[in-house]
Amino acid sequence: MQRRNFLKMTGLVTSASVAAPQILFAQKPKKVLVLGAGLAGLTAAYKLKQSGIEAIILEAQNRIGGRVFTHTIDTENNLTVELGAEWVGESHTKLKNYCAEFGLKLLNHQFDTALILDGKYSPVNAWQLDKKWDETYQKILKDFLKLSPKQQKELDKIDWWRYLKKMGINDRDLEIMELQHSTDYGESIRFVSAYSALAEYSQSSPKDEMDYKIEGGNSQIVKAFTQKIGEENIKLGHWVSAIDQTGAQVRVTCKNGSTWEADKVICTLPVNALLDINFLPTLPDTKIEALESLIYARIIKTSILFKERFWGNEGMDILTDGVGQYYFHPTKNQPGTKGCLTSYAIGDKAYVISKMDNEHKISVLCETLEPAFGKVNHLAEKVVSYYWGEDKFSKGAYAVYMLNQSFELKKLIAKPFKNVFFAGEHVADWQGFMEGAIETGEAAVEAILS
């Protein structure tokens, strides 16, 4: 069963095209303002242009791409790392189709996991979850698809950590799954509902959608969208402060003093930026309460450039109980002797790392790897990191839906308000992925044209 069809069956599809009221014979708008130049906004503007509608993007930052953020860490060898969105999943058909349309090549970005736990290193294929538990877990995933919507809603009331405990997992395997699954959500699985986790893992590819990346960096798709839309139609440094819908058209005011008018607005801004906007008339209380209750994951990605790829196996990642938490090889399929390892840390660990200077980051993150490779500090050349928990605009990497939030909260957040439509990964079926941003951008345009 395809993930979207499954979510539609259970009543959880919340994209703008579903949440919006269907108005027969609605007049096609002549101009639409798109707020935010991330993938949701870029997709929306592209689809509007294809439909013959003028689209202008207002972006607060001085760069295009939002949470898609490729960085060249070694200019001599043109080695790139992702400070933001990392993976294209096997099931991410919309993103894969755009890559094909724009002539972008997808590279294998799958990894086999080694483990460092309690100071002991277990290489790839030298460790596994308890066989009996793994069989139980696979049955849980299959049985979930057979549950009624009512039964699934009951699972939204219990956290994933407690549910696994209830189903008989042993303490060692629970610790491993906590470390592994928390990287998917950006916070502890004690905050995530069992429904949210099961809906994710029962519908994902075998590698949990950690399958590909775009050759040259994921920002290549940002560049491709920008070229199609026209860079002149993307206004950087335009931080939206107010949206006025009391007149015949929607009037948008920016902090730089500029004002813009259009027939419709598509708002793709993350919740933190959205709540900063003064709406006239004001947003409904229920929508404000929903927005204020949604949290975003604290994630820091820290990439260390090494003089040599001492880890040997190009396709290896490492799950650890250390501060760095999860390490993978972002320069896989990039030529050269030098290479990087990226630490992907979440929650409190991310906050702790964010407070370190670069020298301290290298020391701590390399120390975590010592059970596997010994001392490697001397091989480190530089480090680059980005802490999304302190991002000026999003204040987090992506949205985290907690207990009792999966069914109603997302619908409230996604629901249009007069002539303002909402999109972004936080209201997506593929929430937290580039695919999710793209699908909501398309859905918002579909809703406007309905």
Across-strand partners of 115?
122, 319
Q: What share of the chain is helix, strand, coil (3-state, %, to 5)?
A: 35, 25, 40
Cα separations (Å) of 433 from 7, 169, 351, 425, 430? Answer: 16, 28, 22, 7, 6
Amino acid (1-letter code) at residue 322: G
Q: Which run of H or of E encompasses 199?
A: helix 194-201
CA 117 from centre of chain = 27
What is the Cα–Cα distance from 424 to 228, expressed in whole angstroms?
20
Confirm if 385 and 353 have CB atoms less than 8 A apart. Answer: yes
Q: Which run of H or of E encompasses 290?
A: helix 285-293
What is the Cα–Cα distance from 204 to 112, expressed in whole angstroms?
17
- Domains defined along the chain, listed by start: 3-66+218-295+409-449 (3.50.50.60), 70-112+296-390 (3.90.660.10), 130-201 (no CATH)
What is the Cα–Cα distance from 14 to 408, expressed in whole angstroms?
9
What is the Cα–Cα distance from 278 to 242, expressed in whole angstroms?
4
pLDDT in tens, 52-71: 999 999 999 999 999 999 99
CA dihedral 335, 337, 338, 339 (to 10 degrees): 60
What is the Cα–Cα distance from 299 to 350, expressed in whole angstroms?
5
Sheet of strand 259-262: strand arrangement: 259-262, 250-254, 240-244, 278-280
The one-digit pLDDT tens for each residue of the chain (450 residues) are 455 555 554 555 555 544 444 444 458 899 999 999 999 999 999 999 999 999 999 999 999 999 999 999 999 999 999 999 999 999 999 999 999 999 999 999 999 999 999 999 999 999 999 999 999 999 999 999 999 999 999 999 999 999 999 999 999 999 999 999 999 999 999 999 999 999 999 999 999 999 999 999 999 999 999 999 999 999 999 999 999 999 999 999 999 999 999 999 999 999 999 999 999 999 999 999 999 999 999 999 999 999 999 999 999 999 999 999 999 999 999 999 999 999 999 999 999 999 999 999 999 999 999 999 999 999 999 999 999 999 999 999 999 999 999 989 999 999 999 999 999 999 998 889 999 999 999 999 999 998
Q: Is the dihedral of CA 320, 322, 325, 326 positive or negative?
A: negative
What is the Cα–Cα distance from 395 to 425, expressed in whole angstroms?
14
